[in-house]
Amino acid sequence: MEPRILDARFERSDRATIRALQFEKLRALLDKAWATNDFYRGHWSAAGAAPDRVASLEDFTARIPPVRKADFIADQERDPPYGRRTAHARGQREPLTVFTTSGTTGQGVEVHVETEAERVATFQVSDYLYRWAGLERGDAIFLNFPVTLLGGGRIELLGLEHYGLTVFPVGNYDVRRKLELLDRFRPQAIQSTTSYLGHLAAVSDKRPPCASLKVLFGGGEGGGFSWFERLQEDWQVPVFNQYGATQTRVDNMYPCERGIGSRDRPGLLHNIDPYFLLEVIDPKSGRQVADGEAGEIVLTSLVHTEVPLIRCAMGDLAVYHDPTYCTCGRPFAGVEIGTIGRMDDMVKVKGINVWPQAVDDVIFETPEIDEYQIVISSSADAADVITARVMPTAEMGGETAAAFAASLGERLRGRIGIRFRVELVPPGSLERSEYKARRWRDTRGRRPCGPAGDSRG
C-alpha cells in the first residue's frame, strides 16, 4: 500500500535525526519546567534530580523520576482545584481547555489543562491518525464519545474539526438512535471506544451496519487482536486503534496504513516521535526494554511547554518495538497492537497471573460468541473459582451446548493455564456497555476488577 505521508520531514527522516530532535525539544522543556513549574521542580528536588545534568535521552531516563496519578492527585489537594503544575499557565490569564479523568481507578479525579497554544500544537499530532487512515477534508465522521468535561470526547472533537472533517457528535444518543442516524447521514468513519464499536454491530440488523464507511477508530480501552479482527469482519472496513490519555491531552500512538497487521505479525502503534517521547520501561529496573519485550508506557509531551507532562508513568503495559518492526519505513518507535493492558487489571487466580486481554483474545476468536462476563469467586473452602459466562450469538441446547462449553473451557485452560467453569447464558441476557467494557467481576472480598485500556476518562 502506498504510504499516506503527512509530513515527509519526519516520516522520511532517519532514527538518529528524530532522536536528536527529541533531545533538543526535551532540553528546552526541562529548563523551562525547572524555572516556571513548582510541581516538577519540587518533585525532582525531592528525588535529588537536577535537569541541568541531563546530557542525553539515556540520562533523562536514568536521572529524572517519573510522575504518576497519585502525584497529580496530591498536587491538586495541596493547591485545589488545578494543582501547582498549572499555576504558570493560569497566571498568564489566557483561555485554558480543562479536562478531567473519570476517576474509575478509585484514586480520584485528575484535572488537566492546556493553553490555547498547546491545544493548537496537539493538532500536529492528531492529524497523523486521520491522514494515515485515509480520510479527506470534508469526510463525515460520527463521534460516539459523549462530549463532557472528560478528556475522551472533547480531545477527539477538537482534533477532528481541525483536520477538516464534518463531525456528528452523537455520543449522547442511545444505540438505536445512533444506528438511525448512520442510515440517514452515511458517514465515512466512526470514532468510539473499541467495545462500543462491537455493541453497535451487535444491535444492528445489517451486515455491514453502515456501507458508506472507510474506516473505524477505536480507543479509550485495550483490545486483543481477536477483537480487532472481529470488528473488521463485522463492519468490513479497517480498524485504526489509537492510544492516548487525558494526561497527554491528545492521542499520541496510531497505526500506519498497515492497520492491525496479521495475527503472525500484529501492526505497530507508531508513537508520533517528533512531538512525544515514548519510553517502555521494565517496572522493576526502570530501564528501557528491548524490542519485543513488555514494559510500562512512560510518556513525555514535547508539545506541552506551559503545562508540561514529563515522564508520566501511564500504568499501562505493552510490548515495545523499534521502528524497524514495521515495514512502512517511518522512523517512529511504538507498541504492538493488541498488547496494551492496565497494570492493575492483572488478577491472580489459583496462583496464576491472569490478564483480561489474554482471555479476551481466546473468547473473541470464537465466532459463535457474542459477549461474555468473567466472575471470580471463592468456594466454600476458600479456593478460587473463575467462571466464564458466555453469551452465544444463537441459542444452543443439549449436547451441542455441553460440547461447546467443554471445548471453550479446554482452550481457555490451554492458553491461560487454569481451569475455567464455562456457563452458557441466553442470547441478549448480558448487558452491553454504553462506554467502556466492564466484563470482569472479582467477588473475592468484593474487590473490583476494571477494564483494560488507557486512563483517559
Q: pLDDT for 351-394, tens place per residue?
A: 788 888 889 889 998 889 999 999 999 887 778 899 999 999 89
Please, which pLDDT band fits residue 104 given cuts at 50, 70 and 90?
low
C-alpha cell at 127: 492529524
User: Do the bridges between strand 384-392 and strand 421-424 make them parallel or antiparallel, or are there none, so unpaired?
Assistant: parallel
Q: What angle do CA 267, 295, 409 make, to 5 degrees?
A: 70
Residue 453 above 50 pLDDT? no
**Is residue 437's pLDDT more than 80?**
no
Dihedral pair phi/psi, residue 206, rounded to 5°: -120, 150
Position 451 scores a pLDDT of 37
Considering its fold, how many domains does the chain have in total?
A: 1
> Quick check: is 104 in a domain?
no
Structural domain contains residue 405: yes
d(CA 246, CA 345): 19
Q: What is the CATH number of the domain that holds 431?
A: 3.30.300.30
- What is the CA angle 343-349-353, rounded to 5? 40
Domain presence at residue 356: yes
- Asked whether residue 105 carries a pLDDT value surpassing 60, the answer given is no
In a domain, residue 87? The reply is: no
Residue 450 is predicted with a pLDDT of 40
Quick one: CA torsion of 234, 141, 130, 275, rounded to 10 degrees? -120
In this predicted structure, what is the pLDDT of residue 171? Answer: 93
Q: Which residue bears the cell 442510515?
A: 183
User: Does a structural domain hold residue 33?
Assistant: no
Evaluate whether residue 334 is within a structural domain.
no
Which band of pLDDT confidence, cut at 50, 70 and 90, is reported for residue 438?
A: confident
Return the pLDDT at 435.
Answer: 67
Could you give the CA distance from residue 176 to residue 204 in angstroms, rounded to a whole number?
8
**DSSP code string of 179-218:** HHHHHHH--SEEEEEHHHHHHHHHH-SSSSS-TT-SEEEE
Mean pLDDT over the full length of the chain: 92
User: Is residue 439 very low, low, confident or very high in pLDDT (cuts 50, 70, 90)?
Assistant: confident
Asked whether the bond before 81 is cis by omega within 30 degrees of 0, the reply is yes
Residue 165 inside a domain? The answer is: no
Model pLDDT for residues 31-75, shown as the tens digit of each residue: 999 999 999 999 999 999 999 999 999 999 999 999 999 999 999
Question: Are the C-beta atoms of residues 84 and 113 closer than 8 Å to each other?
Answer: no
Q: What is the DSSP string of 333-383?
A: -EEETT--EEGGG-EEETTEEE-HHHHHHHHHT-TTEEEEEEEEEE-TTS-
Nearest to 359 by CA among 400, 316, 417: 417
Full-model pTM: 0.86
Q: Once rounded to an integer, what is the mean pLDDT over residues 412-430?
A: 92
Domain residue limits at 431: 347-446
Task: Tell whether 381 is covered by a domain.
Answer: yes
What is the four-CA torsion angle of 174, 175, 180, 186, rounded to 10 degrees?
A: 110
Residue 97 has pLDDT above 80, yes or no: yes
Crossing angle between the packed helical segments 356-364 and 398-416, to the nearest 10 degrees: 140
* pLDDT, tens digit, 9 for 90 and up, residues 169-221: 999 999 999 999 999 999 999 999 988 998 899 889 999 999 999 999 998 88
Q: 117 phi and psi, to 5 degrees? A: -65, -40
Distance between CA atoms of residues 346 and 357, nearest Å: 9
Spell out the alpha helix ranges (H) of 298-393: 356-364
Q: Cβ distance 265 to 170 under 8 Å?
A: no
The answer to whether the beta carbons of residues 279 and 288 sit under 8 Å apart is: yes
Helix/strand/coil for 286: coil
Residue whose C-alpha cell reads 449522547 in the numeric block: 172
**pLDDT tens, 65-94?**
999 999 999 999 999 999 999 999 999 989
